[in-house]
Structure 1
Amino acid sequence: MDDLLADFLTETHEGLVALDSALVRLERAPDDQPTLSEVFRLVHTIKGTCGFLGLPRLEAVAHAAENVLGRYRDGTLAVTAGGITLILSALDRVKAIVAGIEASGTEPAGDDAALIGALDAAAEGQAVEPPPADIRHALDSPPATEAGAIDVARPDPAPVEAPSAEMATTDLAGGAAPQTIRVSVDVLENLMTLVSELVLTRNQLLQLARAHQSDAFAVPLQRLSHITSDLQEGVMKTRMQPIGNAWAKLPRLVRDLAHELGKKIELDMRGAQTELDRQVLELIRDPLTHMVRNSGDHGLEAPADRRAAGKPETGRIVLNAYHEGGHIIIEVGDDGRGLPVDRIRAKALGNGLTTEADLAQMSEREILRFIFAPGFSTAQQVTAVSGRGVGMDVVKTNIEKIGGTVELTSREGRGTTFTIKIPLTLAIASALIVEAGGERFALPQIGVVELVRVGAAQDGAPRIERIKDAPVLRLRDRLLPLVSLAGLLRLPPAAEDAGFVAVMQVGGQVFGIILDRVFDTEEIVVKPVAPILRHITMFSGNTILGDGSVIMILDPNGIARAAGVGLDTAVEEERRAPAAIGMRSNAQTALLLFRAGDGGPKAVPLGLVARLEDIPGDRIEMSGLTPVVQYRGALMPIVPVSAGWVAPDGEARQPVLVFTENDRAMGLAVEEILDVLDEALEIQPGTGRPGFIGSAVIAGRVTEVIDTAYWLARAGDDWFRGGVAARRDAVRPRLLLVEDSAFFRHLVVPALSAGGYEVTAVDGPVAALRLREEGVPFDAIVSDIEMPDMDGIAFAQALRAGGTWSEAPLIALSSRAEPADVARGREAGFTDYVAKYDREALLQSLADCLSAPLAA
């Protein structure tokens, strides 16, 4: 295949992806002239290039479609749903012909007469009939690639994106627009392999330097380490692609699915620019497609059923993606009928997956997880879309094979949300090097919640206990099931009165892995498991350490399965609690104690702190008058607590508390990290010192609680709008805070508590409405606006429709506080609207709302 044809195929693929989305937009808005012009231009380009390259079959189909679009563009023919369906069928034929050209280098044989005849008839203004069965678009996606052991140097399995990749370059003349060059994916794969080997060599040199303590090599090795890290990051960026590339075909799929099922479906895609490794992107493309299909087929009701249930006729599927730590969170949700718990229970019993006695002990969440069992389906009839029992088990298996997890929440009549957690990349990962039974292993940090040192009772450290010979750890008033790694791998066990426990989270399960030693954190290059070991699911790969040793990479999912860890702490809490409550102001809160500036210890809720870092002084630079550090691909401002702070010299370390929310980060420079403990955070108003909301007695000492919002505001205005001065009242009314972001829940609850309120916080409207159903009273409600599943506007409308909270003051807390937003919120039933996070305005609004009756 010559270069000209290869370039044409690449550009045609890009044009076809854009056409699918543009035609769906055009169907919704037939008078959208810019979209119509874009569609005509793309089809015209494909047709023109076909003629130049001598591809008559492709040219004929594109020409017939262009004729119809030309009539639409000229206004002599009205855009109709049937016409759009016919154009989409033509594009499907173009895709099939292009696939044949890719496979053989020439056009495949075929008869397009029926399709071209239908297009010509449409161009003449004849009524458009549904396309013949042989030219309809097939909803099925291409078969999934094998998700077994992954070789980071393998060629791209996806033919659509394997002829080339694009790399942005900037014109040195300074005034021209950015340009692009095409680079073979194989070249990028080889470059990634070389960088991986460079990382291994860097690790080996650092290991030798630590062993021999050679000062002569310390500086150049440190420079080499920095350059290697920068090069690794740069190469990784060439592999990173927006997740929207995996979503490009979904608008078309949802549109066709709605037509086939007779439903009205709206697809809301958020976070399409969130980037992840192309290799991971390919592996999740098919699971995502299947889950969206399931939402449209199983989840969403027909228009008549939705009207009967008091819902809008148009069902909604929401795709949301965002970064969290070293992984990507993808949410696939709908506002449909929810999962039928009774039917799932009956099906699980009928399939022999459980017993009646076990079912009686299960929570609703445990029962819902049966949908991930092989061959499980609740569909009452088999359709072209679903019902064969092949689906969610494959989705779960494929996601877990790349180190990810999938969880679900569902409420009958309200909808279902699947949450997928996957690593950013499969090539290079951060891992803890640990030891068990005399052997070293790499434990991926993505699943590690915390490390706990265990010891004898006289040491004061947590102690491993046993319940019916099963080891458990009593950690912060809850029992954590433990797995002995040495015992599981049949290695010589160590004494249980000393060592470490790595607290892991795998989906909804939280458990601990007993380790003998923990060495260090290291960037490891992931190598595939040898075929002879692939049946051992406790390993996800192997790697080479700096000293040349080859060690296995542990798979927390496989360890949990092999150990039969059955205690799901989240489920246990759900059994005990009447509702899913995020936090209460009078409950115990995990606090981080530190020392900074004058006076005694300081405290901050641990839930606000993303990471603790020790940053070398020579990495802290100045941007104007602001100290900054190059941190994870961006500049992070450093805000010192102490007034006379000076950056440490050379290799001296600076303790930093890192706060993150979405793509924002700020480091708070402190002097020393003291402890982490749980205390009831009962804050007494302070003296009004800026940066502190008051004091509390913590661990027997008077401790100042910092006003995190004050320090975040000093890092930049993009965290929130408005001031941060505090106002406090003597009474303690009961408040409900509805906020999906855990970060902002931890930020707002202490501030409102210090302002004199007793606060209960939940993670969304569903949990809030559950509290209403249980009759829990509140004096006022503060709610975010932009939330998944149900937004604040719909929540306000639901409250004002009736019930025990229908007359309660309702305050909107949102980053969008323009006049139009305020008007929309008040129309929905909000009493007041406050910018996020203007604490003074929020406290004032609460005082006003609680001292006056609800306005009519």
Structure 2
Amino acid sequence: QSGNTIAIVISDDGHGLDEDRIAAKAIATGLITTAERSAMSRDKILNLVFEPGFSTAEVVSNVSGRGVGLDVVRQNLEKVGGSIKVSSQPGHGTLFTMQIPLTLSIIAGLTVEVSGQRFAIPQSYVEEIVQASTTALDLSHMGETALITFRGNRVPCLMLADVLGVDTSADDARDPTLVMLRLATGDLFALAVDGIHNHGDLVVKPLAPAVMKSGLYAGSTLLDDGQPVLLLDVANIAAAHDLVSDARARALQPVADEAAKPAHALPRAMLFTDFKGRRSAVRLELVQRIETAPVSAIDCSGPRPRVVIDGLILPLIDLPDTPIAALENAGRVRLLRLSDGACELLVAVRQVEDAVELAGPLIPVPEDPLAEAVTLVDGQPVTLIDAHELFARYGEQPVATGRPRCSLPADDWARTILAPLVTSAGYEIVPPETADPQTIAIVFDEVFEAAEALGRGLTGPVIRLRDRPEATTDSDTIYRYDRDALLSALTSAARFAHRPGGRA
């Protein structure tokens, strides 16, 4: 997406379009004259392929030679106000660029924060999210350009606050979060933000032309809490800072000398620090992703802790044994989600450092079954976890958990504003008539009181909403726009949903 249009680029690496052959065919069919041919630029000649009935094929078949394919494409694009262009380089390939006007679209987006303001980024650009405090990142400057070392490559880094020209707080000592963005050209760059909020589907609307001229924004959207945010125009921001390469397949320059690389591929591992300050690593192929979960999601009632992630109950291990009190003090805990293709498990870690290559020798540790080897990373000893022993000892088939059910008031506000919040919190919305004693009912207070007066009180957990911020005589209600209180009540209600007549 660029501005108020969506660009679709289709390319190949074939022979390319033959300018002379196209021109000769156009002259032979009377489409242009020889004099017109001499005055035409290469781009105009190439665009003759969109003319009705034009084809350079010598033989007409069921699939080619009729000259209607590209003509139909152009006609349909023009019907919706779009356009199509073609460019070609002999011996390198052909590139078609289609521009389609944006009226209203739904895209997957990532919400970020900078200087207390929130903005959205199309998720299609997001390659990875990295904490700037990660020790493997090396920040340097080349003139006015900031560069970081990422996966052995030099990557340009932009500060979103500087790009947008917003003031930054001198008292904010938080390490920035880096959103790694990859453009359609293959170029990679980092965008530094203060924090990440959430991700989800965003309904994007066009902006006024005066705002679009800034080149910074591609549209606007409303978040679940009703706050309007601007969608960043990633492609234009990158182009304005000279981050787009001329060649579509330009490879990033490695930091290390290519000649110094070993002939064979080195094993790669995810390096982390446990809650006792010890550095360990697990082979990168096992890491499905890095999770962050609230401590409230950890269940310690059984012989082994478990965590609910994405509707699955997964075993939690910590290497070595970490007191659960240490996790509780953290509030939220970072987890490595590991998979062997059949089983999944979670490893609680204090800090995820980076993916590294294990260039040093792997020294076996026969006295520790969970240790495959010990090696050196940056001159420090690191224990490489034995994956076979790990999954043999702790691996379990994921157990699916049914999402808690919730019924909502039957009005437009609940459908358009409340429902997205409840759904994003992991609850299944069901009609009130299908509710059972385990279904959480969210009702307005006056409806609840009327039902109680008629002797038709609800049997399951109930969350009562009020219209005004200030509570009246009954403190058992929640203001309908108090997001934190509402989410907390949902969590409590889900926990005690098995108790008939429960109240949140």
TM tier, smaller: 0.3 to 0.5
When normalised by structure 2's length, the TM-score is: 0.48
